[in-house]
Amino acid sequence: MAKDLTKQQETDENHGTQVLEEGVHHVNNPVLDLPEIVKNYLGPVAGYHQENNNYYFSDGSASVEIKVVSDEIIRVRLAPKGLFLEDFSYAVPQSDQHVAVYNFEEDQLAYRVKTNTVTCVINKADFLVSFEDREGKAYNKDYAPMHWEENPDFGGYYVYCTKLAMASEAFYGLGDKPTHLNIRGRRFVNWNSDTYSFQFHQDPLYRSIPFYIGLHEGDAYGIFFDNTFKTYFDFAAEAQDQTSFWSEGGELQYYYIHGPHMMDVVKRYHTLTGTHYLPPLWALGFHQCRWSYYPESKVRDLAKNFRERKIPCDAIYLDIDYMDGYRCFTWNKRYFPDPKKMIKELADDGFHTVVIIDPGIKVDENYWVFREGKKNRYFCRRGDDYFMEGYVWPGRCQFPDFTNAEVREWWGGLFKGLVEAGVAGVWNDMNEPAVFGRGTFPNDVRHNFDGFRGSHRKAHNVYGMQMVRATYEGLKKLFQKKRPFTITRAAYAGTQRYASVWTGDNVATWEHLRLGALQLQRLSTSGMPFCGTDIGGFSGEPDAELFTRWIQFGVFSPFMRAHSAGDTAEREPWSFGETHEALNRKFIELRYKLLPYIYSVFWEHAKYGFPILRPITMVEQRLEGNIQREEEFCFGDKVLVSPVLNPGQPNKMVYLPVGEWYDYWEDRLLEGGKEHKVDTPIDKMPMFIKAGTVLPEYPVMQYVNEKKIDSLKLVVYHTLREVNSYLYEDHGDTFAYEQQIYLEKKFVVKGAPDRLSIHQHVEGLYSEKYDTYDVYLAALPFKIGQVKVDDTLVSAEPDATGRYLIKVSKDFRSIQIVGQ
């Protein structure tokens, strides 16, 4: 019927009076006058005004806000009817950074908002927005004016932004999308989803990180589309010359983040969304998980095996079966009669206990958490005020509205019992949120959204983030001085402030090992630094070789945890026979040796926003040949690895960036800027150290702090240049570092063919527990003639591997080594 009327309307030139087929006259029928729903595009700019660092441009009805956030970051917002939504973001706690200098210019053709680094150009005739550097090089340009379409079902608008995709532009980021690093030619959707046994290219998965990096002619910029609704991204997939992002609701609001270095784009993204706090050192050790270890005797047996077999481990996980009927914050007393005693004894043996907590609260009037939540109206409700009920592990459940600050506070307090029992970390799962049978909540579920209210369409992608935020903040309060450890499956941009993440329910296949390497590199470039995969694959059965290769990759995963589903064979590092037990031990030990380096890399992230893993394209973004490289990557800036991703692989080609590198296993010097064929027997994984590095190493320990370190080992790799290395040290598990109670040591290494010098600069207020360093000089290209430490001659002893050992005070200022 409506369609017929429209047809009639189209043919009728008299808009006031419509003549219907039957010849009946309807005067001013409002239905006939309804405008069609169409995409609206911004028209020519009609004028502008300024309020501090915000500039407002209008086409007469729609408005665009251009906000100078910092020298390198500009935010763009669109208000289709001229009224902006309230400025609130879960991702960006504070969008007013300190703005240095900005100014404004206008000529006949355009307006220009300028900072010291970026110029945002707004074309008058067509309202196209573009971003240029100081030299006028365009980094990012609109292809079409921003546009929108009314959403008659839910209100608000579908909002769209279409940018020009330059001919050779490559795209990176976007969270954990399980695909190649360069996402050009692909389209994605962000809608957190429980995706058991996901596949290559599957989309969406568990997390929504609407942030990408464009790289063109060696220059990079970032776009962060801060919109929590279902968002879409098209990277030159539909049209070769266009990149679009759009959403089913909310505001068209994005940040342009200038480079030109990819690393700087990521660092600046972190200035908006925050970094991961420094994890407790133990959380960087090896974690053992399985669905599930129970009863208590099984957990004890597991712990005993680790210690007896001398395989280092710092954390044991309890999956859902530790609870009473899967009721969160309870214990199954038949399986765990005295959890406090068990956790204490595990802790005495160096194990931290991490427990799972899901969002579904069992509907059960005899269960205190349910009663409290019900009484206080903390559970989510449907559009018509019914409770949101659905089935998860405990059966029929209701779900806290974590977007309500009061609910978060309550939730945080619920951990009291677990913390008193000695739990050291919490694992939040199923928080997409996952609901059996129907996937997730229906759209009409209502959320508080921190007072800004919304349906599940708006809150879905932040539900998991707000859950783990509540968990983290609750634990932080309960622990008082100690750093909690938290891990979440679902996330939105900014979740890194509260938790680490793992990639969810992967599969025990070689393809998934490869995928893991891609996903962790991608997460690292998307602002989720503390990430890992289920080592060995969650579902399915890995063979011994795959498991060992996965452990090797795990050493260089920011988060290192083995996990497996309940219907798989038992899977611990010793489950594959003695040969592989020894191999797995060797690599877990390597993780422990590298801990002081790994911890320092995490410090560089926490303090300065550097990513932990760095794809080769990020290290050398100007070399076009690197765009397709995705197997080798750097961990921090001194270690490069290339995990072995195929069965029976005897060797592999590894590209080393320009410069000089040492093969970690034999101190062999290799020239960078090209590929090398590297042998990959099962007991080796390609691993290289940058020339000039000072690599700190711990002795092998069965768990963090097992041994008192009397003298810290520093391996110094010869160089012909000047290279800085950093070592960060502190208590390892308190927040005292926020009060400068830490040491940041800088080692400056300078070398020539016949000499090498090392200078140390120390900042901070912490006191290390050791007095000396064991400095090992690796790969010296000359025979030592003389060694001076702070003007005193000392002797250097060669060891069996050809390295020289010098014992020096931890307070040394300089070491000078001269050849014969």
* Other CB atoms within 10 A of residue 799 CB: 9
CB of 34 vs ligand GLC, minimal distance in Å: 48
Cα–Cα distance measured from residue 558 to residue 612, given in angstroms and rounded to the nearest whole number: 7
Q: Which is nearer to ligand GLC, 563 or 614 (CB)?
A: 563
Q: Which is nearer to ligand GLC, 320 or 687 (CB)?
A: 320
Q: Give the x-and-dash track for 81-120 against ligand GLC (CB under 6 A).
A: ----------------------------------------
DSSP-derived pairing of the beta strands 755-763 and 814-819? antiparallel
Cα–Cα distance measured from residue 70 to residue 750, given in angstroms and rounded to the nearest whole number: 36
Residue type at position 93: P
CB of 198 vs ligand GLC, minimal distance in Å: 11
Q: Among residue numbers 338 through 397, which ones bind ligand GLC (CB under 6 A)?
A: 356
- DSSP SS3 for 500: strand
Catalytic residue among 429, 581, 660, 663: 429
CB of 538 vs ligand GLC, minimal distance in Å: 6
CB of 292 vs ligand GLC, minimal distance in Å: 7
CB of 516 vs ligand GLC, minimal distance in Å: 14
DSSP per-residue string spanning 336-395 = -S-HHHHHHHHHHTT-EEEEEE-S-EE--TT-HHHHHHHHTT-B-B-TTS-B-EEEETTE
Q: Among residue numbers 188 through 227, which ones bind ligand GLC (CB under 6 A)?
A: none
Cβ-contact 685, 641 below 8 angstroms: yes
CB of 290 vs ligand GLC, minimal distance in Å: 8
Structure tokens of 246?
A: 């759009």
Cβ-contact 751, 817 below 8 angstroms: no
Tell me which residue has its CB nearest to ligand GLC: 291
CB of 115 vs ligand GLC, minimal distance in Å: 44
Size of the site for ligand GLC (CB under 6 A): 9
Cα–Cα distance measured from residue 752 to residue 485, given in angstroms and rounded to the nearest whole number: 44
On the CB side of 672, CA atoms within 13 Å amount to 17
> Is 314 a catalytic site residue?
no
Residue type at position 405: A
> Is 432 a catalytic site residue?
yes
- Residue 504 interacts with ligand GLC (CB under 6 A)? yes
Q: Among residue numbers 255 through 294, which ones bind ligand GLC (CB under 6 A)?
A: 291
Q: Which is nearer to ligand GLC, 291 or 599 (CB)?
A: 291
Cβ-contact 317, 351 below 8 angstroms: no
Locus of tokens 């290279």: 723
Cα–Cα distance measured from residue 791 to residue 815, given in angstroms and rounded to the nearest whole number: 8
Q: Give the x-and-dash track for 463-502 against ligand GLC (CB under 6 A).
A: --------------------------x-------------
Q: Which is nearer to ligand GLC, 466 or 539 (CB)?
A: 539
Residue 601, φ and ψ in degrees, nearest 5: -65, -40
- DSSP assignment, residue 85? P
Cα–Cα distance measured from residue 142 to residue 144, given in angstroms and rounded to the nearest whole number: 5
CB of 321 vs ligand GLC, minimal distance in Å: 9
Cα–Cα distance measured from residue 180 to residue 519, given in angstroms and rounded to the nearest whole number: 9
Catalytic residue among 169, 203, 432, 729: 432
Q: Which is nearer to ligand GLC, 474 or 532 (CB)?
A: 532
Cβ-contact 376, 447 below 8 angstroms: no
CB of 539 vs ligand GLC, minimal distance in Å: 9
Cβ-contact 307, 349 below 8 angstroms: yes
- Residue 132 interacts with ligand GLC (CB under 6 A)? no
Q: Which is nearer to ligand GLC, 265 or 397 (CB)?
A: 397
Q: Among residue numbers 411 through 430, which ones bind ligand GLC (CB under 6 A)?
A: 429
Q: Which is nearer to ligand GLC, 489 or 629 (CB)?
A: 489
> Is 429 a catalytic site residue?
yes
Q: Give the x-and-dash track for 320-339 against ligand GLC (CB under 6 A).
A: x-------------------
Q: Which is nearer to ligand GLC, 319 or 733 (CB)?
A: 319
CB of 320 vs ligand GLC, minimal distance in Å: 4
Catalytic residue among 251, 505, 663, 667: 505
Q: Give the x-and-dash track for 289-318 against ligand GLC (CB under 6 A).
A: --x---------------------------
- CA R_g for the chain: 29
Q: Which is nearer to ligand GLC, 146 or 320 (CB)?
A: 320
Cβ-contact 65, 53 below 8 angstroms: no
Q: What's the angle, vertex CA 586, arms to CA 583 and CA 589, rounded to 5?
A: 150
Q: Is 136 left (phi over 0), alpha (psi -120 to 50) or beta?
A: left
What are the start-end ranges of the H helices in 609-641? Answer: 616-619
Structure tokens of 12?
A: 């009728």
Q: Which residues of 93-106 are buried (b: 16+ CB within 10 A; e: fewer)?
A: eebebeeeebeeee
- Residue 505 interacts with ligand GLC (CB under 6 A)? yes
Among residues 65, 176, 319, 697, which is the contact residue for ligand GLC, using CB under 6 A?
Answer: 319
- Residue 432 interacts with ligand GLC (CB under 6 A)? no
Q: Among residue numbers 558 through 597, which ones bind ligand GLC (CB under 6 A)?
A: 563
Cα–Cα distance measured from residue 763 to residue 247, given in angstroms and rounded to the nearest whole number: 47
- Residue 531 interacts with ligand GLC (CB under 6 A)? no
- Residues at the site binding ligand GLC, with contacts judged by CB under 6 A: 291, 319-320, 356, 429, 489, 504-505, 563
> Which positions are catalytic?
429, 432, 505
